[in-house]
Amino acid sequence: MNRLFGYGEPAKPSENATRPNLPSSWYRSEAMYNLERRAIYSKKWVLVSHEVRFPESGNYLQLQEAGFTFFLIRDRQGKINSFHNACRHRAYPIVQEQAGKVNILSCRYHGWSYGLNGKLAKAPRYQELDGFDKEENGLFPIHIHIDKLGFIWINLDASETPAVAWEDDFAGVDEQPRLKPFDFSQYQFDHTWDMIGDYNWKTLADNYNEVKSSVDLLSIPTSSH
């Protein structure tokens, strides 16, 4: 991204070089946001949830990332899968609620239904047609990675294999010594909250990163479960 935005190669540690701030318009520009959707959110791994939110088969969670709507669901074999929230027939949303539990994924538009693994189970008036292959009409999958701590990452790259492997960007992030005292499997989900404003994701990212410049001034509490 540095090369893309014209910043050149990263500065060497010994240079102590500073970088110019991003133009303020980039925090509100629709064109810049769409570029970031293609260059970042369509190619990179994004942390979205934790496996404790899916204790049983059929538990699902609907999410949206940079305008892409998808859901996570635990299948009958215990695997957590991710799919675009669109029926293969007319792209009608498969899940309507933000979270819940189902025995089968069913589209309310024309009755197409899918297993918890995304495979097409029933397609009224289509499955009897010559040349219609149920195996080719399952839900569109999304790449998913669950790290050693149980955190769930997704990659929206439409390729069969993502151009960027999870290890390329995050190798070792789930093995940090400071995280060893925590057993995240014993935690319980509490709540989520949204912030709505006339800005894009970079405003929040900058806000949470500000702590790096004031580590000597702040004592950061760690909440217990």
Q: Given 3-state DSSP classes, what are the helix, strand and coil percentages for the chain, each rounded to the nearest 5? A: 25, 20, 55
Contacts of residue 146, defined as CB under 8 A and 6 or more positions apart, other chains included, come to 51, 80, 152, 153
- Do the beta carbons of residue 113 and residue 102 sit within 8 Å? no
What pLDDT, on the 0 to 100 scale, is given for residue 89? 94
Assess whether pLDDT exceeds 70 at residue 212. Answer: no
Whole-angstrom Cα distance, residue 79 to residue 100? 17
Whole-angstrom Cα distance, residue 78 to residue 81? 9
pLDDT, tens digit (0-9, with 9 covering 90-100), for 34-55 = 999 999 999 999 999 999 999 9
Show the domains of the chain with their CATH numbers.
Answer: 47-184 (2.102.10.10)
At 18, is the pLDDT very low, low, confident or very high (cuts 50, 70, 90)?
low
pLDDT, tens digit (0-9, with 9 covering 90-100), for 111-123 = 999 999 999 999 9
Assess whether pLDDT exceeds 60 at residue 220. Answer: no
